[in-house]
Structure formats: structure tokens, C-alpha cells
């Protein structure tokens, strides 16, 4: 299920990253990264392991500080914000970690209730229940409401992780390896869910993945990170039509390790 591109508003970048630089000691990870994410758009970031994809989205999510450069989110320059303003901005960003990061000791319902009551104190018990049931219905897992995370499959955990982001109705979704460790059929279900979320919740997303079928299905635009910069971007077809050695190597490596994958 490929997405329709008609919903992208190119006049409004919801995230604008300019000349972003980040090093850890001698290790120069980002060397001047520029990126604009438009309203309604899904960007997929591809790059080899260690190329700095997670560092970039952690900076965008405010979990890491850049050495220089700027990040503007929903019109606010992140560096200029007070802690309280930053906290409010973060409520508009759903960040899914590589692991689903559910609380093991809580049921699915409690995992969803926790962020909601913490951040939306004004909601009545009834509204909380309604919101939890709605988001579980949207990710297709209402039947798991009383289960513990240990009772869920890997794909179900990812879905609940996505539900936990959605419960606060963020405008921006950041997905770090949403299909990591899943079988091809479950990967496709998660890809379809990412696209469904985009349409139903009207979100804009950055998706980090190594999975080219995920990139092809969910990405309106693909950007490739290598040596600290984005060296190639475009639609999936535009990017992989390239003879660039880095693109070919990435593609060949993926195909070698995913013989079953149909792109």
C-alpha cells in the first residue's frame, strides 16, 4: 500500500534542520546536515550502521544537543526555548525507540494511561478510557487491552509502542527502526500502519530504517546519510536509480541479506 503524495504541503516545513554538526570527541558524526520535513510528509533516512541516523533524530527530539547548527520545529527555534516551552513542544513529537520501550510491569491499558494522565491532567476518567480504546482500535489491538507486554508478539509490541506515541496526538512522529527484528509479513503490517497513522492523524514523520521495503512503502522522500552529510535524496526510485557506489553498496548489501525481499 503506497501512499498518495497529494497531502504534502510543501509551503510549510514542520522541521527545518540547518548546518547541524555533532561530534563525540574525535568522532565527527554529523558534519553539516540540512533537512526539511514538510507537513504530511514521510521522510526515510537510510545510511550504514553508525552513520549518525539515531544521533540526528535524538537531536531533533531534544534528547541530545548539537555542537552547532539549528533545528526549528513547528516554527520554534529549539535552541531559543525555555525548558517549559521545550517540554510543550516535545508533547507534539512522538518518538519511537528501537525497542518498543513499554513498561513491562504494566498492562497495555496502563502503558497507555500513564503518558495520557501525566500530560493531559484535565481529562476525565471517561475521556481517558475513550482515548485508550480509540487508539487501540486504530492500531488494531483493542483485544490486548488487559494483557502484559510479555504476552505480546514483537509486532504487537511495536503497535502498542506506536499507540503510546499517538495517544498524545502528536503532529510529528519519529520512528527509529520501526520494523527492526520483525518477519517480512509483520514488517509490511507495520509499514501499512505507519501510512495509516499518517493519513488518519495527519502527522509528518521521519523514519529511520535499514529495511528497504519499509523505505519503499512508507517514504515519500528518501535521504541517504554518509560521511556526516546527506549525499542523495529523492523518491525511492530516484535514489536507487543511481550509479553512486555508496548507493549500490547499500542496495546490494540489503539484497544479499534479504533474498526473499521483493522491492
Ligand X SMILES: Nc1ncnc2c1ncn2[C@@H]1O[C@H](COP(=O)(O)OP(=O)(O)OP(=O)(O)O)[C@@H](O)[C@H]1O
Q: Name the residues that contact ligand X, by CB under 6 A.
A: 24, 27, 29, 47, 49-55
Smallest distance, Å, CB 4 to ligand X? Answer: 29
Nearer to ligand X by Cβ, of 42 and 54: the residue is 54
Distance of closest approach, residue 186 Cβ to ligand X, in angstroms: 20
* Choice between 96 and 111, CB closer to ligand X: 96
Q: Looking up cell 520512528, which residue turns up?
A: 175
Quick one: 29 or 172, whose CB is closer to ligand X? Answer: 29
**Least Å from the CB of residue 124 to ligand X:** 41
Measured from the Cβ of residue 32, the count of other Cβ atoms closer than 10 Å reads 13
**Sheet (strand 68-73) strand order:** 27-39, 9-24, 68-73, 76-77
CB 186 within 8 A of CB 154: yes
Grid cell of 202 as nine digits: 495527519
CA dihedral (206, 33, 64, 26) positive or negative: positive
Measured from the CB atom, the residue of 166 and 187 that comes closer to ligand X is 187
Fill in the DSSP letter of residue 2. Answer: P
Which of 24/253 has CB closer to ligand X?
24
Helix (H) or strand (E) holding 174: strand 172-176
Smallest separation (angstroms) from ligand X to the CB of 190: 17
Cell of 186: 509483520
194/125 Cα distance (integer angstroms): 28
Least distance to ligand X from the beta carbon of 26, Å? 10
Amino acid at each position: 500500500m503506497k501512499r498518495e503524495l497529494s497531502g504534502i504541503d510543501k509551503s510549510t516545513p514542520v522541521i527545518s534542520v540547518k548546518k547541524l554538526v555533532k561530534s563525540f570527541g574525535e568522532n565527527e558524526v554529523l558534519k553539516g546536515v540540512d533537512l526539511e520535513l514538510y507537513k504530511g510528509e514521510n521522510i526515510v533516512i537510510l545510511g550504514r550502521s553508525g552513520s549518525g541516523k539515531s544521533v540526528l533524530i535524538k537531536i531533533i527530539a531534544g534528547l541530545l544537543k548539537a555542537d552547532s547548527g539549528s533545528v526549528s520545529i513547528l516554527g520554534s527555534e529549539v535552541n531559543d526555548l525555555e525548558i517549559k516551552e521545550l517540554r510543550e513542544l516535545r508533547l507534539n513529537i512522538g518518538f519511537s525507540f528501537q525497542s518498543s520501550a513499554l513498561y513491562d510491569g504494566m498492562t497495555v491499558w496502563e502503558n497507555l494511561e500513564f503518558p495520557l494522565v501525566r500530560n493531559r491532567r484535565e481529562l476525565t476518567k471517561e475521556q481517558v478510557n475513550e482515548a485508550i480504546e480509540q487508539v487501540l482500535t486504530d492500531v488494531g489491538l483493542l483485544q490486548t487491552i488487559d494483557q502484559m507486554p510479555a504476552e505480546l508478539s514483537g509486532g504487537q509490541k511495536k503497535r502498542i509502542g506506536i499507540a503510546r506515541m499517538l495517544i498524545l496526538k502528536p503532529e510529528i512522529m519519529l520512528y527509529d527502526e520501526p520494523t527492526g527484528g520483525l518477519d517480512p509479513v509483520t514488517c509490511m503490517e507495520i509499514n501499512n500502519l505507519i501510512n495509516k497513522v499518517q493519513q488518519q492523524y495527519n502527522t509528518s514523520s521521519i523514519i529511520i530504517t535499514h529495511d528497504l521495503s519499509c523505505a519503499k512503502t512508507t517514504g515519500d522522500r528518501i535521504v541517504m546519510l554518509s560521511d556526516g552529510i546527506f549525499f542523495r535524496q529523492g523518491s525511492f526510485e530516484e535514489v536507487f536509480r543511481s550509479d553512486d557506489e555508496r548507493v549500490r553498496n547499500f542496495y546490494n548489501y540489503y539484497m544479499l541479506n534479504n533474498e526473499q525481499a521483493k522491492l
